[in-house]
Amino acid sequence: MSADADGPDDRHGPESQQAVFGEARWPMAGAVIGAMLLSQLMPDDLRLGPRWLLPLGEGLLLVTLIAGDPGRISRRSAALRAAAIALVGVLAISAIWSTVRLIDDLIHGGAETNSATGLLQAGGNVWASTVLAFSLLYFELDGGGAAARAHRMPTTPELAFPQQLSPELNAGQWRPRYIDYLYLGLTNSTAFSPTDVMPLAPWAKIAMAVQSLVSLLILGLVIARAVNVLA
């Protein structure tokens, strides 16, 4: 789902003689499809735009990425990089919009806030959407994206995984995969703080802080309201 912005496709450039650790595309594509499905399960007032609009745009961007770099992610292209960032941006904005709308409904009252079952379902969908959106955001921004990481890991990591911080692991050829970023998104949404992955770059600290606050608001307000409805 990712491509580096260093320039046009250089699959056959000087670095083509070096090992390329391209990641299979299906985990990230599956996460995007999962986020699209979750948006369809939300009440209309929590969704950004008409029911068909965002899935259509996200689907077109995903198809563009798959067609431009099928199989494993290794093609570095400015156009594919722009499409990947646009896709992640749409998913993140949609998730944050749904969060804001859910919080507004919880404060001022909404259709789904009168039923504990409906509230928990809506809150769970919004929370899961934020986990997927932020995991894809980390995946796309860390080290210039998956295509860039496939060719060369940055000297100074932006998100420092245990394999990068522990020399005894001898992980010189190790590359973070989408599952690593999904785990980061999940633990950051439940612990509200870094667990095993440390944010070193400013953008990573901001993104993780925003995700923690969003998750705290969703879980705290939804659970409190659900308990109040049940009582």
Q: DSSP for 10-42?
A: -TTSGGGGS---PEESHHHHHHHHHHHHHHHHS
- Here the tokens at position 5 are 């912005």
Neighbours of 114 (CB within 10 A): 11
Per-residue pLDDT for 198 more than 90? yes
Q: Distance between CA atoms of 91 and 103, rounded to whole angstroms? A: 18
Report which of residues 220 and 13 the model is more confident about: 220
pLDDT at 142: 95
Whether 65 is in a domain gets the answer: yes
Segment 90-97 shows an average pLDDT of: 93
The pTM of this model reads 0.86
Considering the chain, what percentage of its residues have pLDDT values greater than 90?
A: 48
Whether 1 is in a domain gets the answer: no
| Lowest mean pLDDT, pick from 46-60, 73-87, 138-152, 162-176 | 162-176
Among candidates 28, 172, 146, which has minimal Cα distance to 81? 146
C-alpha of 50 from chain center? 22
Among candidates 231, 19, 27, 208, which has minimal Cα distance to 130? 208
Segment 73-81 shows an average pLDDT of: 90
Whether 6 is in a domain gets the answer: no
| Lowest mean pLDDT, pick from 24-28, 98-102, 112-116, 191-195 | 112-116
Question: Mind listing the pLDDT tens digit for each residue in 35-59?
Answer: 999 988 888 888 887 888 888 999 9
Rg (CA), the chain: 19
Whether 7 is in a domain gets the answer: no
Whether 74 is in a domain gets the answer: yes
* Beta-bridge partners for 159: 199
Whether 201 is in a domain gets the answer: yes
Q: Are 121 and 131 in contact (CB under 8 A)?
A: no
pLDDT, the chain, mean = 85
Number of domains the chain contains: 1
Per-residue pLDDT for 159 more than 80? yes
Whether 4 is in a domain gets the answer: no
Q: Distance between CA atoms of 201 and 190, rounded to whole angstroms? A: 22
Domain of 153 in residue numbering reads as: 14-230
Instruction: Determine how β-strand 23-24 pairs with β-strand 72-73.
Output: antiparallel
Q: Are 22 and 72 in contact (CB under 8 A)?
A: yes
Question: Mind listing the pLDDT tens digit for each residue in 121-138?
Answer: 888 999 999 999 999 999
Q: Are 136 and 91 in contact (CB under 8 A)?
A: yes
Q: Identify the H or E element spanning 228.
A: helix 202-230
pLDDT at 126: 93
Per-residue pLDDT for 34 more than 90? yes
Whether 78 is in a domain gets the answer: yes
Considering the chain, what percentage of its residues have pLDDT values greater than 70?
A: 87
